[in-house]
Amino acid sequence: MATTMNPYLAFEREAREAMNFYHGVFGGDLVINTFGDGGVPHDPQDADLVLHAQLTTAEGHTLMGSDTPTGVDAPLRGQQVSLSGDDRDSLVRAWEALAEGARIVEPLAAAPWGDTFGMLVDRWGVTWMVSVAADPSRG
């Protein structure tokens, strides 16, 4: 079982452009899913916005990013941290510790895409996303 921690960049509406730029700089594999693809409730005008992008380089670096959907305020814009993997116990412990004094944005619960997902802003204003893979092979 494993967990990973990587930067997660939040953009207003330019995630696709930025992630394609980073792909050009670093190479590797880039996967982009839109709100329309993602199976999550969204404003129809956000269907083509990036729900989640992941750039994985040959060196093993991972950079993630997304657009900020309509109606979401500034605290979710900027740099975020993603903590993910298949070690459910470790990730739940991290969530519980990070949640002390935090503002819960999305409770840690089953997500439409099958993983267990939660988002919070800790007492220092850092946004954390915790994702437990439903399929351990996805890490």
Closest to 8 in 3D by CA, of 62, 70, 80, 68 = 80
Going by C-alpha positions, the residue among 58, 62, 53 that lies closest to residue 7 is: 62
User: Which pLDDT score, from 0 to 100, does residue 74 have?
Assistant: 55
Give the per-residue pLDDT at 86: 93
Reported pTM: 0.69
Q: How far apart are CA 9 and CA 59, in angstroms?
A: 20
How sure is the predictor about 96, in pLDDT bands with cuts at 50, 70 and 90?
Answer: very high
Q: Which residue has the higher pLDDT, 41 or 73?
A: 41
pLDDT at 139: 47
Report how many domains make up the chain: 1
Q: Which two three-digit tokens encode residue 127?
A: 């946004």
pLDDT at 50 over 50: yes
pLDDT in tens, 101-120: 999 999 999 999 899 999 99
CA distance 62 to 55: 6
Domain that holds residue 50: 3-138
Averaged confidence pLDDT in the chain: 88
Q: What is the mean pLDDT of residues 30-56?
A: 92
Q: Please, are residues 131 and 113 in contact by the beta-carbon 8 Å criterion?
A: no
Residue 130: which H helix or E strand, with range? strand 127-132
- Domain of 50, CATH number, reads 3.10.180.10
Res 10: pLDDT: 86
